Amino acid sequence: MIDIKDLTIEKAHDALTKGEYTVRELCQAYLDVIKEKNPDINAYLEIFADVMDQADKAQDKFKNGTATLLTGIPLAMKDNMLIKGKHASAASKILEGYTASYTATALQNLIDQGVVFLGRTNMDEFAMGSSTQTSAYGVTRNPLDRERVPGGSSGGPAAAVAMYGALASLGSETCGSIRQPASFCGLVGFKPTYGAVSRSGIIAMGNSLDQVGPLAHTVRDAEIIHKALVSYDPELDGTTVPMEKRVPAPRTLTKKIAVPAECMKGEGIDTELHEAFLKSLDTFRAMGYTIETVSFPLMPYSLAVYYIVMPAEVSTNLERLDGIRYGYHAKEAKDLNEFYMKTRGEGFGRESRRRIILGSYVLSNDGEYYRRALRLRDAITKELDETFTKYDFVVTPVAPMLPFKLGEKLTDPVAMYLADVFSAPANLSGAPSIALPIGLTATGLPTAVQITAPRWEDDTLFAVGKEFERTNQSK
């Protein structure tokens, strides 16, 4: 009997190397959990038919001595990631029946190491949402409280790991869509420096913001997966940065942490969550850090900037989906214009239509709104960079609210958008950021803290994350 609740990548690798169980047996343990829990949780949209074929290929690597730490490790993936020959829908009706013609670079990096992908998981449609309630294929429930959301848009990948239906998973985020579901499901979620991981083969939402990262039970597992994802991909993703240029700006570490004044005061933050956040600062103090309250004059504008930049890029990216070449298409139309209107009106969900319309408006007026937002984005990035000359990290809650009940905020898009308020600065600036679980509230809901570091200090984040994990567990 494999104790998957105590399993890490390194423990699984050690057991597979010693022959304590096979890759098939390990995968079957997770498939058994999926069979039991997924009908209610709805984390997975599809379990791949070739799981055991993947397992056999991974087992061969152990036999011939080419196995790596990730060989045979069962992972889940988000439904906006492509593997050649497999369906991908981005949880949208408009991509109904679409089969990928190539494999995403990031996923190919893992496949080359012998990872076993169990299946594709649910998400907010085209990654537009913070609750995994906008999927065309039903809502996903939080395994820790099935009446609540798992967060989004990577709610399916988070729920798959939280219900022990995968050892870890791959998510994507445009603004907090890895970190927020990680916090809602009691997991570690890591957003890398922009340009570290190829976006090729990831169905685009916002090109200047989208990133791929891991969700896992431990910081070390997230670190192992991230390091395997990293690559330079100039032919397929021109935004990836050459390896020799991935060098952080010189600075002297001060053992000081900056916390925005609003976070210290608890303005707009759930009371229980704020109490948990303040306690988490004691963990940093136990690690030898000094906590200082800092004013960020421009940071409050981050969410507004994001909701101008992102919809503009969304409307551009999704205009290619017209029902002509693949996916859903309207059955009856008197002319081409009506065909487009019916296909998109019926194929896209409400939230996707809302953001496409908003983005189209943003790009009107010769794109002046978009250009202004980009200028303010640069200013916010500069403000954050200047902060890092005096402080090692910026620490905040991941989101201002705890996991909320299914349907609770669905009719109030502004309330839903506020889930991104603490995530936006890292996404706009391209800085790496990690969400770390800090325990449960008195009512049993998971809480988390978020640490953000300067660009290309991903390894620094993993180091402090592992130290925080050890210190928090020993308290």
The residue behind tokens 């705890």 is 402
Rounded Cα gap, residues 467 and 475, in angstroms: 13
For the chain, what percent of residues have pLDDT higher than 70?
100
Exposed, middle or buried by CB within 10 Å (0-12, 13-18, 19+), for 243? exposed
The single-letter DSSP state of residue 99 is B
pLDDT digits (tens, 9 = 90+) for 27-58: 999 999 999 999 999 999 999 999 999 999 99
What pLDDT sits at residue 1? 82
How remote is the C-alpha of 175 from its chain's centroid? 8
Rounded Cα gap, residues 342 and 330, in angstroms: 6
pLDDT exceeds cutoff 80 at 218: yes
What are the residues whose beta carbons fall under 8 Å from the beta carbon of 398, sequence distance 6 or more?
176, 179, 180, 182, 183, 422, 423, 435, 448, 449, 450
Mean pLDDT of the residues in the chain: 96
Rounded Cα gap, residues 77 and 156, in angstroms: 9
Rounded Cα gap, residues 199 and 206, in angstroms: 11
Burial 103-138 (b: 16+ CB within 10 A, else e): bbbbbbbbbebbbbbbbbbbbbbbbbbbbbbbbbbe
Domains of the chain: residue spans and CATH? 4-245 (3.90.1300.10), 304-368 (no CATH)
Rounded Cα gap, residues 426 and 453, in angstroms: 9
What are the residues whose beta carbons fall under 8 Å from the beta carbon of 64, sequence distance 6 or more?
none
The residue behind tokens 């991935």 is 246
Confidence of residue 415 (pLDDT cuts 50, 70, 90): confident
For residue 238 the two structure tokens come to: 């021109």
Active-site residues: which are they? 78, 153, 177
